Amino acid sequence: MEKRVLGSSGLEVSALGLGCMGMSFSYGSPKDRGEMIGLIRAAVERGVTFFDTAEVYGPYTNEDLLGEALEPVRGQVVIATKFGFNLNPDGSPGWQGVNSRPEKIRTVVEASLRRLRTDVIDLYYQHRVDPAVPIEDVAGAVRDLIAAWKVKHFGMSEAGAETVRRAHAVQPVAALQNEYSLWWRRPEREMMPLMEELGIGFVPYSPLGKGFLTGAMDAGTELAKNDFRSSLPRFTAEARKANQAVVDLLASIGGRLGATPAQVALAWLLAQKPWIVPIPGTTKLHRLDENLGAVTLRLAADDLRELDEAANRIPIVGDRYPEHLEKMTGL
């Protein structure tokens, strides 16, 4: 497996990570725990060293799942998790607003460490910016956790450029996790130049458009009520019908190269910068193998140019999130 370093942090990970959220949260009912442990360990056997979770996924159950799966190989892998929400006190899915107060961070990190069955978290992200807490205070709290050897690196998720710059001045930000794919390219405007300037690695989540860019769904696909995509404007039947043009473009390039749409989408991301490490999620072994095939798929300059030019001519239909969720981002 090819390795990459996240910016100037020195944090080396596999060129593709594994996003574990969907094993426990958001994409319908939680999957069988034993099967997911097997899938995570199969990823390790295939050279994946970078695993992504968060306390809100479940809540809590995804961290616990990852902790059990990776305990036997803890020294071989990099675990990233996230803080920053007030979770429902009854343990039900969802949250009651953001919370990145330093005292909250100091409390939740201990619980995450226990669930992950580890002494230290390799990469600790602020999941969403808390407008009520100065980002300098958040960065300072994580800096203290790093000094206490409870955390190795500080990350941020869906934060804007000025917020990242201010945080980085207090505690260097090793990685930024924002959505990025061929159908969501907003990070190219401000965030990628900033990451290049500051030496911050980029970890794109939803690199396959929450599954849409794989070609596995179309306008006729029925989404379960407990699949959060059913509430997203970009996943209405009408939007999926219009956005099929992006999948068709990926399939066209892939057909020429002997690759699937998902592999082309991931290879395109990997070709953008050497410090980009996508974290596609899956609950299926054959999809894991398909995704990993993207690491060895080399897109020629002509392929990349064709993808860029053709994608720019396709109007993407539907917002990525409803307004109340988009407001939680700093972009």
322 DSSP 8-state letter: -
299 DSSP 8-state letter: -
User: Token pair for residue 217?
Assistant: 């769904």
Domains plus CATH for the chain?
3-214+273-298 (3.20.20.100)
121 DSSP 8-state letter: E
Lowest mean pLDDT among 168-182, 255-269, 314-328: 314-328
Mean pLDDT, to the nearest integer, of 294-321?
95
Annotation says 57 is catalytic = yes
pLDDT for the residue numbered 91: 79
| pLDDT confidence tier of residue 329, bands split at 50, 70 and 90 | confident
Angle made by CA atoms 326, 63, 234, in degrees to the nearest 5? 25
Q: Residue 310's Cα: distance from chain center in Å?
A: 25
Active-site choice (27, 57, 180, 205): 57
pLDDT for the residue numbered 278: 98
* Percent of the chain residues topping a pLDDT of 90: 91
Mean pLDDT, to the nearest integer, of 138-147?
98
177 DSSP 8-state letter: E
Q: Tens digit of pLDDT for each residue in 218-277?
A: 999 999 989 999 999 999 999 999 999 999 999 999 999 999 999 999 999 999 999 999
Query: Coil, strand, or helix at residue 235?
Result: helix
